[in-house]
């Protein structure tokens, strides 16, 4: 494997830091303060998969995400203050407060959106890929989903059709080992999830989803196959969420020490720091400075979002239908 | 309301000279709409089970593969969730998909993409996304038993963000489908399987029928008889026979259920003072309940008699002919209920 480029690894590291700080702010401050309604699913621990994959895409490519999509939206380049504003239900949120945490969408970055109906984004992604092929516009469509979605009929129908019709859809399975509380071992008849791709003759690869450089390299290979050969690919990223499925999760389904041990051994941010120090000879001071800068940026975004007013009630009846143009 | 083939505004009832027409099968009217829209707009493509090589189980897409090729007329595997879901994605990506779900009974398998995705993506994204797709499907009993015979329009009329049209004539089968394809919103077009091989007048010229505008299919002063889809034709026949008994029914074909032209119903009932709503769906929680509720809220004082619903009995649709006929509402039930409504 090629020695990482310092500049690129630093970019990936910065991406991961931004997501980590963004989510920790929710977990430690915004949610406990009662500023967030309903459900919020955090991406803490899975940053390397989103960062590595999204850096391997082009700006014109479409990205579809899941209920755990803050990170993907942020990595795609949305303004963190507008993401926070949406999560807080404020008027300047990405979706003017109509979507919230589970329905982020930003077409300025071609982030088609989060989709909290597990598996539902796979046929939509295949359809987008169909449109791209039909219009011959060279775009590919990346669809993120978890290990749970692999057990939906939507995955199988989409995988079959995408392979049959040779659609440029990049399927990214973020295997964080639990579908809410049910582990992969208790939910899937095959443990090597990439085996699912074989049934549809689909190009596939499995990567350590905690190592951002490895993810980026694998995702770059997958994107190249997908784009230049106009065919679907499945990249399984083995990862782990250090936090609960959602902010109120009791975590009674996991061994008590599991998350602590995983964090100690496989925290993607720590692994990237070690790689930067060992392979790229980056000075520790530089990393500390970067952390402080990104942290400040996130703090400011959250503060800015908190100052934004909620949407006026009458907005509730707008956008139910698109006006004939 | 409009006479057949005329552009009109909701509630604006008037009759106009009949346009030049030709007699065609309902399936051909559907095919005409698809062909015209595919010629007009290269973004329009068709996908569904058995629609390409076979030409559709009712022949509604016959010949289109030969004319437009495999890129635009696509047979799919039996994957309703993916058919509907891919239509959503293709619409977001800039195309105008017309996806067929062979029977509306199978909407159950495709409903997430239709009701949770297509209907809501524009709203949830505050207008960043648009999902201009058409789902073509068909309803109605015709000897196919319980899982291929239902009239499930209420499954989709309950969802904000969708439009639902139910053409009962050849002119509407073409004109409403064309409007549906040009609409920037997701539209569910519910055709009727018993109509595909029946013939009726269709304007010779290309005609768009507006979504959300009812049509007075027959004028009358004694009772307002509201219906849609194939049942509208049944109501017209019932009205002709009732006329011989001295009862003049005004038949309104709603044509579109979401949005529905309740103004037209109110206007007619202000004249007749009586309302009978007839549909092939089960009476209980059928769309007739919504028609009656809208009317009583808006025109209670004009009613001379309690409104009446006619629909199918509360059972799955059975197979054997006498059983199906017993469960399914038909001309006799409509006539009986109209007589009771008018004579008390």
Partner-chain residue, chosen from A124, A141, A322, that has the shortest CB–CB distance to B130: A322
Specify the pLDDT at position A313. Answer: 97
Instruction: Please indicate, yes or no, if residue A63 is contained in any of the structural domains.
Output: yes
Specify the pLDDT at position B165. Answer: 98
Instruction: Please indicate, yes or no, if residue A31 is contained in any of the structural domains.
Output: yes
Instruction: Please indicate, yes or no, if residue A102 is contained in any of the structural domains.
Output: yes
The predicted complex's ipTM stands at: 0.97
A129 touches B: beta carbon within 8 Å: yes
Chain A 34-93, CB below 8 Å of chain B: which residues?
62
Cα separations (Å) of A205 from A125, A171, A224, B247?
Answer: 19, 11, 13, 74
A132 touches B: beta carbon within 8 Å: yes
B268: Cβ contacts below 8 Å, ≥ 6 apart: B13, B216, B224, B250, B252
Which residue of chain B comes nearest to A324, CA vs CA? B184
Residue B187, strand partner residues: B134, B163
Per DSSP, the three-state class of B279 is strand
Substitution target from B44, B89, B161, B184 for chain A, most A beta carbons within 10 A? B89
Instruction: Please indicate, yes or no, if residue A113 is contained in any of the structural domains.
Output: yes
Q: Which domain holds residue A61?
A: 6-179+190-308
Specify the pLDDT at position A325. Answer: 73
Specify the pLDDT at position B344. Answer: 78
Per DSSP, the three-state class of B96 is strand
Which residue of chain B comes nearest to A121, CA vs CA? B85
Element (H or E) spanning A72, and its range?
Answer: helix A70-75
Partner-chain residue, chosen from A112, A120, A319, that has the shortest CB–CB distance to B127: A319
| Positions in chain A whose pLDDT score sits under 50 | 1
CATH number at residue A130: 3.40.50.970
Query: CB–CB of B81 and A62 under 8 A?
Result: no
Torsion of CA B195, B200, B205, B209, to 10 degrees: -50
Instruction: Please indicate, yes or no, if residue A318 is contained in any of the structural domains.
Output: no
Radius of gyration of chain A (CA): 19
Q: Which residues of A touch B90 (CB under 8 A)?
A: 127-128, 130-131, 134
Per DSSP, the three-state class of B136 is strand
Query: CB–CB of A113 and B112 under 8 A?
Result: no
Specify the pLDDT at position A4. Answer: 77
Specify the pLDDT at position B1. Answer: 39
Query: CB–CB of A157 and B79 under 8 A?
Result: yes
Partner-chain residue, chosen from B94, B113, B126, that has the shortest CB–CB distance to A95: B126
User: Mean pLDDT, 10 residues at a time, over chain B (344 residues)?
Assistant: 44 58 96 98 98 97 98 98 98 98 97 98 98 98 93 98 98 98 98 96 95 98 98 98 98 98 98 98 98 98 97 97 96 97 90
Element (H or E) spanning A208, and its range?
Answer: strand A203-208
Instruction: Please indicate, yes or no, if residue A245 is contained in any of the structural domains.
Output: yes
Cα separations (Å) of A207 from A247, B132, B236, B292, B338?
Answer: 28, 38, 66, 60, 70
Count of structural domains within chain A: 1
Specify the pLDDT at position B19. Answer: 67
Q: What pairing do the DSSP bridges indicate for beta strands A182-183 and A178-179?
A: antiparallel
Domains of chain B plus CATH, in order, are 23-203 (3.40.50.970), 215-343 (3.40.50.920)
Instruction: Please indicate, yes or no, if residue A314 is contained in any of the structural domains.
Output: no
Instruction: Please indicate, yes or no, if residue A325 is contained in any of the structural domains.
Output: no
Query: CB–CB of B85 and A96 under 8 A?
Result: no
Q: How many CA atoms lie within 13 A of A25 on its CB side?
A: 26
pLDDT tens digits, B14-33: 455 666 899 999 999 999 99
Q: What residues of B act catalytically?
A: 80, 148
């Amino acid at each position: 494997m090629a020695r990482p480029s310092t500049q690129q690894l630093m970019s990936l590291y910065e991406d991961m830091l931004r997501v980590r700080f963004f989510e920790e702010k929710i977990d430690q401050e915004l949610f406990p303060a009662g500023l967030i309604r309903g459900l919020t699913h955090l991406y803490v621990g899975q940053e390397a998969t989103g960062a590595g994959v999204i850096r391997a895409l082009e700006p014109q490519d479409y990205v579809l995400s899941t209920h755990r999509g803050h990170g993907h939206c942020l990595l795609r380049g949305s303004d963190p203050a507008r993401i926070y504003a949406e999560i807080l239900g404020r008027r300047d949120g990405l979706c003017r407060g109509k979507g919230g945490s589970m329905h982020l969408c930003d077409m300025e970055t071609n982030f088609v959106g989060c989709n909290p109906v597990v598996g539902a984004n796979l046929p939509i992604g295949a359809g987008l890929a169909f449109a791209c092929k039909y219009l011959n516009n060279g775009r590919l469509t990346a669809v993120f989903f978890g290990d749970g979605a692999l057990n939906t009929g939507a995955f199988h129908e989409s995988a079959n059709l995408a392979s049959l019709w040779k659609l440029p859809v990049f399927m990214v399975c973020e295997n964080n080992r639990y579908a809410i509380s049910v582990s992969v071992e208790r939910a899937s008849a095959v443990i090597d999830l990439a085996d699912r791709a074989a049934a549809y003759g689909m190009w596939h690869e499995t990567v350590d989803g905690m190592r951002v450089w490895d993810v980026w390299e694998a995702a770059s290979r997958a994107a190249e196959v997908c784009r230049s050969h106009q065919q679907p690919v499945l990249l399984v990223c083995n990862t782990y969420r250090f936090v609960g499925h959602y902010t109120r999760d009791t975590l009674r389904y996991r061994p008590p020490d599991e998350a602590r041990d995983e964090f100690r051994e496989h925290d993607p941010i720590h692994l990237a720091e070690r790689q930067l120090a060992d392979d790229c000879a980056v000075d520790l001071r530089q990393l500390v400075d970067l952390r402080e800068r990104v942290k400040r940026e996130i703090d400011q975004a959250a503060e800015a979002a908190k100052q934004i007013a909620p949407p006026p009630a009458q907005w509730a009846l707008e956008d139910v239908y698109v006006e004939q143009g | 309301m409009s006479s057949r083939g005329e552009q009109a505004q909701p509630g604006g009832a008037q009759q106009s000279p009949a346009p030049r027409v030709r007699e065609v099968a309902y399936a051909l009217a559907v095919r005409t709409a698809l062909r015209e829209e595919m010629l007009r707009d290269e973004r329009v493509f068709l996908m569904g089970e058995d629609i390409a090589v076979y030409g559709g189980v009712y022949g509604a897409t016959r010949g289109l593969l030969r004319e437009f090729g495999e890129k635009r007329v696509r047979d799919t595997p039996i994957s309703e969730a993916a058919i509907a879901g891919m239509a959503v994605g293709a619409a977001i990506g800039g195309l105008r998909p017309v996806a067929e779900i062979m029977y509306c009974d199978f909407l159950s398998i495709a409903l997430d993409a239709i009701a949770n995705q297509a209907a809501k993506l524009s709203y949830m994204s505050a207008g960043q996304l648009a999902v201009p797709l058409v789902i073509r499907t068909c309803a109605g009993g015709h000897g196919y038993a319980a899982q291929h015979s239902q009239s499930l329009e209420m499954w989709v009329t309950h969802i904000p963000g969708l439009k639902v049209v139910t053409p009962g004539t050849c002119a509407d089968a073409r004109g409403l489908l064309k409007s549906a394809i040009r609409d920037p919103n997701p539209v569910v077009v519910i055709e009727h399987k018993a109509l595909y091989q029946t013939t009726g007048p269709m304007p010779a010229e290309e005609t768009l029928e507006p979504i959300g505008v009812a049509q007075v299919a027959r004028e009358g002063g004694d009772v307002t008889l509201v219906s849609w889809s194939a049942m509208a034709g049944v109501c017209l026949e019932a009205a002709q026979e009732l006329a011989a008994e001295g009862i003049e029914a005004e038949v309104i074909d709603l044509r579109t259920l979401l949005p529905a032209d309740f103004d037209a119903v109110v206007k007619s009932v202000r004249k007749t003072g009586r309302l009978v709503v007839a549909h092939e769906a089960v009476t209980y929680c059928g769309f007739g309940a919504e028609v009656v509720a809208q009317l009583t809220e808006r025109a209670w004082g004009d009613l001379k008699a309690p409104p009446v619903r006619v629909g199918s009995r509360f059972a799955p649709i059975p197979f054997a002919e006498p059983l199906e006929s017993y469960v399914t509402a038909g001309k006799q039930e409509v006539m009986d209920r109209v007589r009771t409504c008018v004579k008390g």
